[in-house]
Amino acid sequence: MPVATLEVIDGIGLITIDSPPVNALGVDVRRGLDAAIRESLAADDVNAIVLTCGGRTFFAGADISEFGKPLERPDLLEVLATIENSAKPVIAAIHGTALGGGCETAIVCHYRIAVPSARVGLPEVNLGLLPSAGGTQRLPRLVGVEQAMEIVSGGAPIAAPQALELGMVDALAREGQLRQDAIAFARRILQEGRPLVRVRDRQELVAAARGKPEIYAKFLAKNANSFRGRRAPFNIVKAIEAAAELPFDEGMKREAELFREVHDSAESAAQRYYFFAERDTARIPDIGNDVRPLPVKSVGVIGAGTMGGGIAMNFLNAGIPVTLVEMNQAALERGLATIRRNYESTAHKGRMTLEAVEKRMAAITPSVDLAAVTNVDLVIEAIYEEIGIKKDLFARLDAIVRARAILASNTSFLNLDVIADATRRPEDVVGLHFFSPANVMRLLEVVRGAKTRKQVVATAMSLARTIRKVPVLSRVGYGFIANRVMAARMAEADSLVLEGPTPTEVDRAIYEFGFAMGPFRMIDLVGLDVIGRDSDERTLAGDLVKRGRLGQKMNGGFYDYDEKRNPTPSAVAAEVIAEFAASKGVRNTGPLQADEIVARLLYPVVNEGARVLEEGIALRASDIDVACVLGYGWPVQTGGPMFWGDTVGLSRIVEGLRARGVRPANLLIEKAANGGSFTR
On whether the CB atoms of residues 617 and 480 are closer than 8 A, the answer is: yes
∠ Cα 162 164 169 (to 5°): 125
Beta bridge partners of 325: 302, 367
User: Between 460 and 479, how does the x/- string for binding to ligand T1G read (CB under 6 A)?
Assistant: --------------------
- Is 124 annotated in the active site? yes
Contacts to ligand T1G from residues 39-58, by CB under 6 A: 57
Contact between 251 and ligand T1G per CB under 6 A: no
Phi/psi at 506 (nearest 5 deg)?
-65, -50
> Cβ neighbours of residue 431 under 8 Å, at least 6 residues apart?
408, 409, 410, 411, 416, 445, 446, 447, 448, 449, 474, 476, 480
∠ Cα 328 334 339 (to 5°): 125
Judged by beta carbon, residue 97 or residue 412, the one nearer ligand T1G is 97
Judged by beta carbon, residue 155 or residue 303, the one nearer ligand T1G is 155
Contact between 117 and ligand T1G per CB under 6 A: no
Judged by beta carbon, residue 255 or residue 524, the one nearer ligand T1G is 255
Q: Pick one of 3, 109, 127, 357: the residue that binds ligand T1G (CB under 6 A).
A: 127
Contact between 60 and ligand T1G per CB under 6 A: yes
Candidate list 104, 267, 326, 608, residue with the active-site label: 104
Q: Pick one of 33, 90, 115, 133: the residue that binds ligand T1G (CB under 6 A).
A: 133
Contact between 160 and ligand T1G per CB under 6 A: no
Cα separation of 432 and 457, whole Å? 10
Contact between 128 and ligand T1G per CB under 6 A: no
User: Between 69 and 108, how does the x/- string for binding to ligand T1G read (CB under 6 A)?
Assistant: -------x--------------------x-xxx--x----
Judged by beta carbon, residue 118 or residue 416, the one nearer ligand T1G is 118
Q: Is the peptide bond before 591 cis (omega within 30 degrees of 0)?
A: no
Contact between 623 and ligand T1G per CB under 6 A: no
Give the binding range for ligand T1G (CB under 6 A) out of 126-134, 486-494, 518-526, 608-616: 126-134
Task: Give me the least distance between CB of 287 and ligand T1G, in Å please.
Answer: 15
Give the binding range for ligand T1G (CB under 6 A) out of 128-136, 527-535, 584-592, 627-635: 128-136
Judged by beta carbon, residue 63 or residue 646, the one nearer ligand T1G is 63
Give the binding range for ligand T1G (CB under 6 A) out of 61-69, 286-294, 374-382, 525-533: 61-69
Closest CA to 92 of 63, 57, 123: 57
Cα separation of 35 and 79, whole Å? 9
Task: Give me the least distance between CB of 131 and ligand T1G, in Å please.
Answer: 4
Q: Pick one of 13, 89, 123, 366: the residue that binds ligand T1G (CB under 6 A).
A: 123
Q: How far apart are the first and last CA of the chain?
A: 34
Contact between 604 and ligand T1G per CB under 6 A: no
Q: Pick one of 10, 21, 571, 675: the residue that binds ligand T1G (CB under 6 A).
A: 21
Contact between 22 and ligand T1G per CB under 6 A: yes
DSSP codes, 143-193: H-HHHHHHHHHH---EEHHHHHHHTS-SEEPPTT-HHHHHHHHHHHHHHTT
- Helix (H) / strand (E) containing 10: none
Q: Pick one of 17, 19, 46, 61: the residue that binds ligand T1G (CB under 6 A).
A: 61
- For residues 606-644, one letter each, b for 16 or more C-beta atoms within 10 angstroms of the residue's C-beta and e for the rest, the string is bbbbbbbbeeebbbbbbbbbbbbbbbbebbbbbbbbbbb
Task: Give me the least distance between CB of 21 and ligand T1G, in Å please.
Answer: 4
Contact between 154 and ligand T1G per CB under 6 A: no
Q: What is the number of alpha carbons within 13 Å of residue 550 lying toward its C-beta?
A: 7
Q: Pick one of 17, 19, 63, 577: the residue that binds ligand T1G (CB under 6 A).
A: 63
Contacts to ligand T1G from residues 559-578, by CB under 6 A: none
Cα separation of 501 and 105, whole Å? 52
Closest CA to 602 of 623, 628, 567: 628
Cα separation of 393 and 176, whole Å? 48
Task: Give me the least distance between CB of 122 and ligand T1G, in Å please.
Answer: 7
Judged by beta carbon, residue 21 or residue 661, the one nearer ligand T1G is 21
From residue 302, alpha-carbon distances to 25, 367, 577 in Å are 47, 10, 40
Judged by beta carbon, residue 57 or residue 410, the one nearer ligand T1G is 57
Candidate list 39, 84, 124, 165, residue with the active-site label: 124
Contacts to ligand T1G from residues 271-310, by CB under 6 A: 276, 279
Cα separation of 250 and 220, whole Å? 23
Q: Pick one of 17, 50, 51, 64: the residue that binds ligand T1G (CB under 6 A).
A: 64
Task: Give me the least distance between CB of 432 and ligand T1G, in Å please.
Answer: 20
Contact between 137 and ligand T1G per CB under 6 A: no
Give the binding range for ligand T1G (CB under 6 A) out of 3-11, 132-140, 425-433, 567-575: 132-140
Contact between 267 and ligand T1G per CB under 6 A: no
On whether the CB atoms of residues 541 and 532 are closer than 8 A, the answer is: yes
- For residues 394-425, one letter each, b for 16 or more C-beta atoms within 10 angstroms of the residue's C-beta and e for the rest, the string is beebbeebeeebbbbbbbbebbbbbbbbbbeb
Give the binding range for ligand T1G (CB under 6 A) out of 125-133, 192-200, 483-491, 497-505: 125-133
The conformation of residue 478, written as its DSSP 8-state character, comes to T
Contact between 431 and ligand T1G per CB under 6 A: no
From residue 232, alpha-carbon distances to 65, 337, 442, 509, 607 in Å are 19, 42, 24, 21, 30
- Is 104 annotated in the active site? yes
Number of other CB atoms surrounding residue 589 within 10 Å:
10
Judged by beta carbon, residue 124 or residue 170, the one nearer ligand T1G is 124
Residues that bind ligand T1G (CB under 6 A): 21-22, 24, 57, 60-65, 76, 97, 99-101, 104, 123-124, 127, 129, 131-133, 135, 276, 279
- Which residues have a catalytic role annotated? 104, 124
